[in-house]
Structure 1
């Protein structure tokens, strides 16, 4: 039984085996499990997309429905297995990935309680929730974690950069409103700011264009300025990722006593409770 406050306990037996396969990706079985889930997620999302194509949804509706139930049952079994083998099931259920797992299977079951559910516009939105299955991919790719840490570490620099860009587009939009005026499509300052944003990001929808020579000169400067500013956030995040990339990166190794994750490949003892870690299966040994 799980103690009060859903605190994790030491795993053993089949629960330990399941936990190692499902939650750890540094073993042969864990990698195979992750790869299988990745393919199932991609195929299920592709089925949802194809089902939305006009003409195919009617002719092949029974096939799509069978596939949908197959994927739903598989992901339901996976979700229940994660709850069963996890020593802190409520903690997992309320976590980001736990909620994503639930959302990805819930619409199919909800459809059972709504007659002619696919004919109701407001309930059809539930089908779109199945696309959340693609978010489960982040759980199986370590690079997502590295990117997330880099984004979190560089958020202040990026926010400062975005603030500077915001000030530029506000000033330039106001200037363009004065230079071009409502007769040339710049009917208000917010509209001019919208033009400045699309110009500076080099999108340029073309729905609003300057007509005067001075306005075109300002547009040229903003377009050239946009090329230089677009690379700034990328450089900030890339620098953070480079600083965080070390020869020995954390793995998905988990202490089977306290369930602390992220131990290095050469670690012998848990960095949290001090218990000896199970032997690490190196990539070369797994292959």
Structure 2
């Protein structure tokens, strides 16, 4: 499926509005090539980062003791802002439940749910620790992926590389299983390698060059194997980086789809220089991109 077809398919599945205030609202909250859309995204990015900073500061005991009321006020302000954004997204779609059940729809819900949960269930501390609510609030940082194209490019590269990465991980798994088993035979329980899973744990920490030092080989043969594992780890860690980098480079060479829409059939992702719609053949009006 071409990028333009993918964009059109996503918009059609959510039920892009056809006209009226819902279409104007859609162009602001879901599209980013207009001045209003860019400003909306920039304000949300700032709000997301600020809300995460507030959650982190609130977890510091000394700051919480002095500024508890301020943190509570800011938290409610961010919650109301994200609630308004969430409702606006649902209101401008013809099929809002599809967005509500999508990945970004669930992230939007997690961004506002903890504050309301604490309000509706005052005894929440008896059911769940308050740190869980803070953890859920940290999901707001995932909202950034909806507004920055670089996140989407990285996600597409990882998705396109998934088979290669899975093959790479399976090779790594076989290596650590074989080397861990070998170390279990060579070193044995007397030197801390009490079982094959424990030896595999040592192989993983050694191959990733972490080396916690809680288990170390004592024999010369074991040290030789350990040295080979560490040298192998250097080369192994570079493989997935090269795979993902090659996919990102390939995607940069492709034409980035725009949010240009055909006024007749509502096909999205049309090239800025196109004179006719590739789906229905209708003549397109001149494309005007707001200046950055």
One fold, TM greater than 0.5? yes
Q: Is the 8 A contact 1:11 1:257 kept in 2?
A: no
Once the two structures are overlaid, the 10-residue window that deviates more, 144-153 or 249-258, is 249-258
Instruction: State yes or no: 1:166 paired with 2:180.
Output: no
Rounded to whole Å, the distance in 1 between the matches of 2:21 and 2:285 is 16
Task: Specify whether residues 248 and 205 from structure 1 end up closer, same or farther in structure 2 by C-alpha distance, changes over 3 A only.
Answer: same
Task: Specify whether residues 62 and 173 from structure 1 end up closer, same or farther in structure 2 by C-alpha distance, changes over 3 A only.
Answer: same
Rounded to whole Å, the distance in 2 between the matches of 1:36 and 1:49 is 20
1:130 paired residue number: 137
Rounded to whole Å, the distance in 1 between the matches of 2:214 and 2:120 is 46
Task: Specify whether residues 87 and 273 from structure 1 end up closer, same or farther in structure 2 by C-alpha distance, changes over 3 A only.
Answer: farther
Q: Is the 8 A contact 2:186 2:221 kept in 1?
A: yes
Q: Deviations over 1:22-69 (max 9, x none)?
A: 111111211111011000000001111111112222321111100000
Given candidates 149, 158, 161, the residue that maps to 1:154 is 161
The equivalences for 1:65-214 within 5 A come to 65-117=72-124, 119-120=125-126, 122-124=128-130, 125-214=132-221
Structure 2: state its 5+ residue gaps: 1-11
Rounded to whole Å, the distance in 1 between the matches of 2:162 and 2:126 is 41
Q: Is the 8 A contact 1:9 1:258 kept in 2?
A: no
- Quote how far apart the aligned CAs of 1:127 are: 3.2
- Quote how far apart the aligned CAs of 1:218 are: 0.9
Task: Specify whether residues 75 and 121 from structure 1 end up closer, same or farther in structure 2 by C-alpha distance, changes over 3 A only.
Answer: same
Question: How does the TM-score come out when normalised to structure 2?
Answer: 0.88
Rounded to whole Å, the distance in 2 between the matches of 1:151 and 1:9 is 28
Rounded to whole Å, the distance in 2 between the matches of 1:216 and 1:7 is 59
- Quote how far apart the aligned CAs of 1:154 are: 1.2
Once the two structures are overlaid, the 10-residue window that deviates more, 21-30 or 168-177, is 21-30
Question: How does the TM-score come out when normalised to structure 1?
Answer: 0.89
Q: Deviations over 1:163-215 (max 9, x none)?
A: 11111100100111111111111111100000000000111111111111111
Rounded to whole Å, the distance in 1 between the matches of 2:91 and 2:52 is 26
1:222 paired residue number: 229
CA RMSD of aligned residues (A): 2.3
- Quote how far apart the aligned CAs of 1:92 are: 1.3
Q: Is the 8 A contact 1:8 1:88 kept in 2?
A: yes
1:240 paired residue number: 247
Rounded to whole Å, the distance in 1 between the matches of 2:263 and 2:96 is 15
Q: Is the 8 A contact 1:21 1:29 kept in 2?
A: yes
Task: Specify whether residues 254 and 120 from structure 1 end up closer, same or farther in structure 2 by C-alpha distance, changes over 3 A only.
Answer: farther
Given candidates 263, 286, 291, the residue that maps to 1:286 is 291
Rounded to whole Å, the distance in 2 between the matches of 1:279 and 1:76 is 36
Structure 1: state its 5+ residue gaps: none
Once the two structures are overlaid, the 10-residue window that deviates more, 119-128 or 154-163, is 119-128
Q: Is the 8 A contact 2:14 2:99 kept in 1?
A: no
